[in-house]
């Protein structure tokens, strides 16, 4: 019984923390709750876009291996297209190229086949790049605006601290600790949300540029193959480099009689 009384007295004597995260939100009221909610939505959206776009990009890069191996080994473009995934970006380029070739034969004007094919493949390539870029503007917006939203919460917290000082007539720590702590929390939240968004944007953008380079090269190879009626194909070396042959030994000198 004595031990229980001692523990109860110690608990009552321990100071209560009145300046935690929840307490700061409660003291800030509607503005603090709204700021944290907006930050949470921005952070969730940023990570969602990061992971979904990363998986999409990885799938396209992985499918490029089938283009280098199975597709160009096929005798015709139509047979090669059947070896690619139906919903892949590479299959879309091939299908659009074949469709453009079929449509050119129906034209009655003097538009050259090369110009028509090039424009058709460029349009298909642009649509793929546009689809890959979806979501990136959101990351850029979060990275640019999240610090300012946090700064807004910071300004409100400092304003509340000044009001508390004015009412109390002195800058005592118990009057300003809550509002100042709230302002620091808002600043930290703005940086926590903005920094991952900027990093994700730059990372995904660099991968999109790599995919765009591969699409441009594949489009050029398709154009050359179609215009040459299937005779021109890219040279793909899959064999490992053979070691250099050892230098031949000099012939032995004939024995003297």
Q: Is the pLDDT of residue 7 over 50?
A: no
Please report the sign of the dihedral spanned by the C-alpha atoms of residue 28, residue 168, residue 180, residue 10: negative
Residue 49 domain flag: yes
Q: Is the pLDDT of residue 127 over 70?
A: yes
Q: Is the pLDDT of residue 239 over 60?
A: no
pLDDT band for position 252 (50/70/90)? low
Enclosing domain of residue 24: 19-227
Question: What is the mean pLDDT of the segment spanning 41-47?
Answer: 94
Task: Name the nearest CA neighbour of 222 among 120, 82, 103, 69.
Answer: 120
How high is the pLDDT of residue 236? 65
Q: Is the pLDDT of residue 137 over 50?
A: yes
Task: Name the nearest CA neighbour of 98 among 76, 67, 69.
Answer: 76
Residue 175 domain flag: yes
Question: What is the mean pLDDT of the segment spanning 103-130?
Answer: 77
Residue 241 domain flag: no
- Could you read off the pLDDT of 186-234 as tens digits, one per residue? 888 889 999 999 999 999 999 999 999 999 988 888 888 888 777 777 7
Asked whether the beta carbons of 91 and 85 are under 8 A apart, the reply is yes
Separation of alpha carbons 128 and 130, rounded Å:
5
Alpha helix stretches (DSSP H) within 228-250 = none
DSSP state at residue 108: -
Residue 142 domain flag: yes
DSSP state at residue 70: I
pLDDT band for position 16 (50/70/90)? low
Task: Name the nearest CA neighbour of 181 among 167, 161, 151, 152.
Answer: 161
Q: 15-24, 77-86, 121-130, 179-188 — which is least confidently predicted?
A: 15-24
Q: 31-35, 44-48, 63-67 — which is least confidently predicted?
A: 31-35
Residue 38 domain flag: yes
Question: What is the mean pLDDT of the segment spanning 111-124?
Answer: 79
pLDDT band for position 107 (50/70/90)? low
Residue 232 domain flag: no
How high is the pLDDT of residue 238? 47
Number of domains in the chain: 1
How high is the pLDDT of residue 142? 93
Residue 246 domain flag: no
How high is the pLDDT of residue 250? 53
- Residue 140's alpha-carbon distances to 46, 98, 120, 145, 211, in angstroms, are 10, 37, 31, 9, 20
Residue 197 domain flag: yes
Average pLDDT, the chain: 77
Q: State the Cα angle at 43 between 42 and 44, rounded to 5°.
A: 95
Asked whether the beta carbons of 232 and 224 are under 8 A apart, the reply is yes
In the chain, % helix, strand, coil (3-state, to 5) comes to: 75, 0, 25
- Could you read off the pLDDT of 141-197 as tens digits, one per residue? 999 999 988 888 778 777 777 777 777 666 566 666 666 677 777 888 889 999 999
């Amino acid at each position: 019984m004595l031990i229980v009384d001692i523990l109860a007295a110690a608990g009552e004597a321990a100071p209560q923390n009145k300046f935690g995260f929840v307490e700061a939100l409660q003291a800030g009221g509607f503005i603090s709750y709204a700021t944290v909610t907006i930050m949470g939505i921005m952070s969730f959206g940023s990570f969602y876009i990061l992971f979904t776009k990363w998986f999409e990009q990885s799938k396209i890069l992985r499918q490029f291996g089938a283009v280098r191996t199975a597709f160009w080994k096929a005798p015709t473009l139509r047979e090669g297209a059947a070896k690619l995934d139906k919903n892949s970006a590479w299959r879309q380029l091939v299908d659009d190229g074949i469709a453009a070739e079929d449509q050119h034969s129906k034209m009655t004007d003097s538009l050259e086949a090369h110009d028509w094919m090039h424009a058709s493949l460029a349009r298909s390539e642009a649509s793929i790049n546009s689809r890959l870029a979806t979501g990136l503007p959101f990351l850029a917006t979060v990275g640019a605006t999240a610090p300012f939203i946090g700064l807004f919460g910071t300004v409100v917290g400092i304003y509340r601290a000044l009001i508390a000082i004015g009412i109390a007539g002195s800058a005592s720590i118990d009057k300003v600790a809550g509002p100042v702590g709230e302002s620091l929390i808002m600043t930290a939240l703005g940086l926590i949300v903005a920094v991952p968004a900027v990093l994700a944007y730059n990372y995904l953008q660099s991968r999109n540029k790599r995919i765009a380079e591969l699409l441009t090269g594949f489009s050029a190879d398709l154009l050359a193959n179609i215009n040459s009626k299937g005779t021109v194909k890219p040279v793909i070396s899959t064999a490992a480099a053979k070691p250099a042959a050892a230098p031949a030994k000099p012939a032995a000198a004939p024995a003297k009689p």
